[in-house]
Amino acid sequence: MPVHNPEIAETFNKYADLLEIDGANQFRVRAYRTAGRTILDLSQNLYDMVKEGKDLSELPGIGKDLANKIIEMVRTGRLSQMEELKKTVPIELLDMMDIADLGPKRIARLHQELGISTIKELEASAREKKIRELPGYGEKIEQAILDDITRKGKARGSKERLKLSAVESATESLLSYLRKIKGVKKVTAAGSYRRRMETVGDVDILVTHTGDSDVMERFVKYEDVDRIIAKGETKSTVVLRFGLQVDLRAVSGESYGAALHYFTGSKAHNIAIRQMGVKKNLKINEYGVFKGKKRIAGKTEEEVYEQVGLPYIEPELREQRGEIEAAREGRLPRLIEIRKIRGDLHSHTNNTEGRNSIEEMAEAAQKKGYEYLAITDHSKRLSMTHGLDEKRLEEQIEEIDRLNRKLKDFTLLKGIEVDILEDGSLDLNNSVLKKLDLLVCSVHHKFNLSQKKQTERIIRAIESSPVFTILGHPTGRIIGEREPYDVNMEQLMKVARDRNCALELNAQPERLDLNDIYCKMAKDMGVMIVISTDAHSTAGLDLMRFGIYQARRGWLESNNVLNSRNGKELQELLKK
Ligand code: DGT
Ligand code: CA
Ligand code: CA
Ligand code: ZN
């Protein structure tokens, strides 16, 4: 069974959590976490690398020991050490890691002193007011735990959605497996996966094939399949090992375009198109476009749109948010493409929580064909990341100046991801900030302020910043984990526009804020957007594609995106 990078990363992360609960040495714990992070950022497929006999220990943060563990997981699907550790530390304890205010140390204590191993037991003890008695807990934490259990219980009731990044490699592997089956012609993923939504409920795959191919048989026998839900001549459904459901539909060549249109969705977009057909006396469904009983179109998606008098609409736009009107009036956006990106404006180095040196980051960015990279490490308030104080930032500035003298056709921009403090002031003195090319200003704490306070806080930061400002991950949400903080986005965007401040679309697949709706709003209001990876390693620079997907869903064109400008244009703009 191919094991995919996200599963290996997750195993390492779980192992690190379990070790920490067990009270293991911090260095060991951190080694596994770092490895988990490296693997998530990796562009190569570990499964393939192992099969090809590549040396994994050449990957950053992966030594011989971890390399062997990856090989074991690829070969057996398991990590034997994890199985060992599970014998002494119950794995259910990890479920508690999701509960607000609980981390490994607190969980260990709950386990040792109250014998709690599951969320159910945790809830019971909280109701019996036993948790507040433990040293370092108290009533407030007990209540927060209870509230969070109740809230998450509700959330679990709804069907779980997986992040696009988590299903990407498994889906692409499955698609290439299907393409190799004899008699199979076209293979395409439709649904939310094709529309590049940040999360997907399930993956919908369409195939066309010669009548005698055994594609359905081979599909349900794919090595990643955990469960078969349905198997038929034209439709089958399976669940893959890590919980991803996949629908496969076989359609005829003459219906292919109509089926692709139908199953790409969104449902709301489909319904609107179908109604346009009704007005023209046409019936549109997944089999084609019909006039009476006669099929008049359906081989391609373009044909379907043509029948209702529209040009082709890109999948990312099909959300019934004005794309049909725009198509009718000939003002569809020319969506940004990844090849338009000329540089990255948010990255970390091993001076704080990144893994690579400034020089290595520059080299990797240059290798991608970029003209510039902004180094934006954390500021001192984030002490657990070893954030920079004024003195260390000065040193970094000097180092970058030195490197820039060596670099050809490439510029390192001097920046910092500076914390916005609770009162809206910045974490470092203006005297040093002034020496930078740009700031990424970010909120990393005090997420629960009222909307008014949070908005004022951020506006103050924008207004007091001494150089060009990018507002980093502007809503702070982490998909499936942390809600966005409460800000008045319209007000924020007005200030950003008037002050020449750009808003970041953070390409980390669990962030992706601005989301699609806010991207479109920014575009409509004339606010500049920056798409940045927030890379923590050289491999992290490859996450740019997720930002591009979101940008396209948000109607962005290259002229809305600051880092589609070349180095010279950008430098001029930064100076203004
Ligand atoms: P997901 O899976 O929740 O991330 O989102 P989708 O968009 O992939 O939704 P899914 O898998 O339920 O269905 C795939 C597509 O099939 C959907 O985008 C549009 C189409 N579809 C499904 N049900 C209906 C329906 O009742 N009417 C119409 N017109 N289209 C439908
Ligand atoms: Ca779907
Ligand atoms: Ca589906
Ligand atoms: Zn940040």
Looking at ligand 1, which residue's alpha carbon is closest to its atom 20?
263
Angle at alpha carbon of residue 308, lines to 302 and 311, rounded to 5°: 45
Q: Between these two residues, 535 and 51, which has the higher pLDDT value?
A: 535
Structure confidence by residue, pLDDT tens digits, 348-369? 999 998 999 999 999 999 999 9
Structure confidence by residue, pLDDT tens digits, 416-472? 999 999 999 999 999 999 999 999 999 999 999 999 999 999 999 999 999 999 999
CATH value at residue 65: 1.10.150.110
In the predicted structure, residue 157 carries a pLDDT above the cut 50: no
Total of domains in the chain:
4
Q: Which of 163, 171, 192 to mutate to test the pocket of ligand 1 (most atoms within 8 A of CB)?
A: 192
Distance from C-alpha of 297 to C-alpha of 287, rounded to nearest angstrom = 9
Query: Which ligand minimizes its atom distance to the CA of 264?
Result: 1
Regarding whether 483 and 549 lie in a shared domain, the answer is yes
Domain enclosing residue 129, as ranges: 5-156
Number of H helices, E strands in the chain: 23, 17
In the predicted structure, residue 97 carries a pLDDT above the cut 90: no
> Which domain-ending residue is among 328, 362, 393?
328
In the predicted structure, residue 174 carries a pLDDT above the cut 80: yes
pTM of the model: 0.80
Query: Which ligand minimizes its atom distance to the CA of 262?
Result: 1
Give the pLDDT score at 490.
Answer: 96
In the predicted structure, residue 265 carries a pLDDT above the cut 60: yes
Nearest Cα residue to 523 out of 486, 570, 562: 562
What backbone phi and psi angles, to 5 degrees, belong to 273?
A: -65, -40
Q: Which range scores top for mean pLDDT: 84-98, 99-113, 553-567?
A: 553-567
137: pLDDT confidence band, cut at 50, 70 and 90? confident
Q: Which atom in ligand 1 lies closest to the alpha carbon of residue 199?
A: 4
Give the pLDDT score at 105.
Answer: 87
Structure confidence by residue, pLDDT tens digits, 203-230? 999 999 998 899 999 999 999 999 999 9
Tell how far the Cα of 353 is from the centroid of ligand 4, in angstroms: 11
Regarding whether 140 and 23 lie in a shared domain, the answer is yes
In the predicted structure, residue 2 carries a pLDDT above the cut 80: no
Regarding whether 199 and 53 lie in a shared domain, the answer is no
Contacts for 122 with CB less than 8 Å, ≥ 6 apart: 96, 99, 110, 116, 131, 145, 149
Give the pLDDT score at 37.
Answer: 85
Q: Between these two residues, 353 and 331, which has the higher pLDDT value?
A: 331
Regarding whether 520 and 455 lie in a shared domain, the answer is yes
Across residues 275-294, what is the average pLDDT? 96
Tell how far the Cα of 317 is from the centroid of ligand 4, in angstroms: 28
Give the pLDDT score at 309.
Answer: 98
Tell how far the Cα of 10 is from the centroid of ligand 1, in angstroms: 29
Regarding whether 218 and 262 lie in a shared domain, the answer is no
Regarding whether 446 and 344 lie in a shared domain, the answer is yes
In the predicted structure, residue 371 carries a pLDDT above the cut 90: yes
Looking at ligand 1, which residue's alpha carbon is closest to its atom 30?
267
Tell how far the Cα of 519 is from the centroid of ligand 4, in angstroms: 19
Regarding whether 350 and 324 lie in a shared domain, the answer is no
Q: Which residues line ligand 1 (CB under 6 A)?
A: 191-192, 197, 200-202, 204, 262-263, 265-267, 270-271
Tell how far the Cα of 264 is from the centroid of ligand 3, in angstroms: 10
Across residues 11-20, what is the average pLDDT? 92
Residue 333 in domain = no
Across residues 110-130, what is the average pLDDT? 89
